[in-house]
Amino acid sequence: MIVISFLDGTDITITEETVLNGFRNFSHDPEREFYIKKVFSNSINGSETKEASRLSTDDKKVGIMGFVLSVDCFSIGEESNTLYRSSAVKSVENSNFSFG
């Protein structure tokens, strides 16, 4: 499991099946409304697309942090009503790491 920690002290746990949705600002035209565009939606194990996921790196925290750094905001889960600003992430860590 991966733990995403935010600057406000809250944490979110990400499993292999957790769907992450990434969004980027798409509000470049001053004549149009403000808008964000979904640029990614999948889990570490690729359950959303049934193919290899870009999140599935040898070290899962590296894939998740790469995702966080590549989007402006993200949501957790398929039916999420909450968007998290990527700049609010303090750290990403493996929660089940051991030297065993």
Per-residue confidence in pLDDT tens, the chain, 100 aa: 999 999 999 999 999 999 999 999 998 888 888 899 999 999 988 876 667 788 888 889 999 999 999 999 999 988 889 999 999 999 999 987 554 4
Backbone angles phi, psi at 4, to 5 degrees: -100, 120
Q: What is the domain extent for residue 48?
A: 2-92
> What residue spans of the chain are helical by DSSP H?
60-70
22, part of any domain: yes
47, part of any domain: yes
Element (H, E) at 92: strand 89-94
52, part of any domain: yes
* Confidence (pLDDT) at 2: 94
- Name the nearest CA neighbour of 94 among 20, 14, 7: 14
The pairing of strands 84-85 and 2-6 is unpaired
Number of domains in the chain: 1
pTM confidence score: 0.85
Token pair recorded at residue 27:
């509000």
99, part of any domain: no
100, part of any domain: no
* Confidence (pLDDT) at 98: 53
Q: What is the pLDDT of residues 65-83, one digit of tens each?
A: 999 999 999 999 888 899 9
